[in-house]
Amino acid sequence: MIRTVLLIILSAFVFQSCKTEKKIRPSGEVIRVGILAPLSRVNRNYGYQSLMGIEFANKQKPYLSNGDKIVFELVDTNSSIEGTQAALKMLIDKNVTAIISFAGSGNMLGLRDMLKRVKTPMIVTLATNDEISHLNDSIAQLCMSNQREALVAAHYIKDEKFINTVGVLYYGNDPYSLSLATQFQKYYKAIRGKEAFSLDFSQQGTWKKIQAQNMKDVKMIFSVLNSKDTLKILKILKHKSVDLLLSDGTFSSAKESIKDELYYFNGAYIIEHYASDMQGNKDYKKLQKLLKTKNLKDSSYAFLAYDAYALLYYTLQNCPKHEQKCINALFQNSDVIEGIGGNFNMQNAKVKRKIYIDKIKNLRLKREIVTY
């Protein structure tokens, strides 16, 4: 069942308002923003971690400078295409000012035809497929695109690690995994890298293949698998001289789905939007403290949700009448905005921000390199 909750007081945690907010006189006007979040079934960890980030950001700045208050309409997508479609329709019918989506690429791409007709301005935080922002001029991608992640991964392995031969692990029946793996293969081959093997884990018999695979010439594997299958791979590679480079979000997901054996992730590399030792803004340590209470420190989902609110707040501040045309324009192309881990801006519906290659050490994301 789809659940709608008006989020005015969202969290059990009470945060002290900053001094500038105390001076704002509430206008009595309310700006309703829709939140699409998977809060049940397979992707619920994405939704709840993201919700913690956006709740926190809203607590810091609930009012615009004119006194208008930002409140959320939260709808559970049930981690499915059908649920996401019904949730999106519900928010559009409620005539919300804007929508922030925590749904992944698969569920969003399942709504291609519907999204092409949507006029409500929308920010997506986790859907990385490059096609999404091209569906219409109302959608902005705050996360790195598959194209950029694949390019960074290929050059890191070849130019920074000096590795000439890799393996690739993916799911052929998952739009996100297949797209990212395919683009990585294209870029890696373009810079004269070699591929020792490419294994599709949506096919039967693949686990036997990886266990029997000759790793003699392979020093690194690029993996676009979920956290539970990644754990199995790490166990297989435990006594082999092969490193694993994980796609973004894998470790954040593992923190909820794999608690007792999380230590296996130590030593793996990961492409991320953030790093544990990054120079965060004034809210960074406070959000980290909140996440730590749930054993979710360094949650990229929560950080991206915080940044989504930063983009929303900037846009509403600069669109005093909250008109769709103005909001869409700034979601697509913005000035520089301060995020949780540094500045970012939007260009042609794509985010321009730092991307990190981190190494997991003591279950923290230790930065190896930063790209721009």
Q: pLDDT tens-digit profile of 299-348?
A: 899 999 999 999 999 999 999 899 999 999 999 999 999 999 999 999 99
The domain that holds 262 is classified in CATH as 3.40.50.2300
Q: Are residues 344 and 211 in the same domain?
A: no
Q: Are residues 172 and 185 in the same domain?
A: yes
pTM over 0.85: yes
Q: Are residues 314 and 337 in the same domain?
A: yes
Give the total number of structural domains in the chain.
2
**How much is the pLDDT for 219?**
95
Long-range contacts of 285-293 (CB under 8 A, 24+ apart): 286/15, 286/56, 287/53, 287/56, 287/340, 290/13, 290/52, 290/56, 291/49, 291/52
pLDDT at 179 over 90: yes
Q: Are residues 364 and 222 in the same domain?
A: yes
Cβ atoms of 182 and 188 closer than 8 Å: no
Q: Are residues 34 and 138 in the same domain?
A: yes
Q: Are residues 111 and 53 in the same domain?
A: yes
Domain that includes residue 194, residue range: 146-278+356-371
Q: pLDDT tens-digit profile of 27-37?
A: 999 999 999 99
Report which residue type is found at 285.
Answer: K
Q: Are residues 77 and 184 in the same domain?
A: no
The 10 Å CB-count burial string (b at 16+, else e) for 161-178 is: bebebbbbbbbeebbbbb
Q: Are residues 207 and 306 in the same domain?
A: no
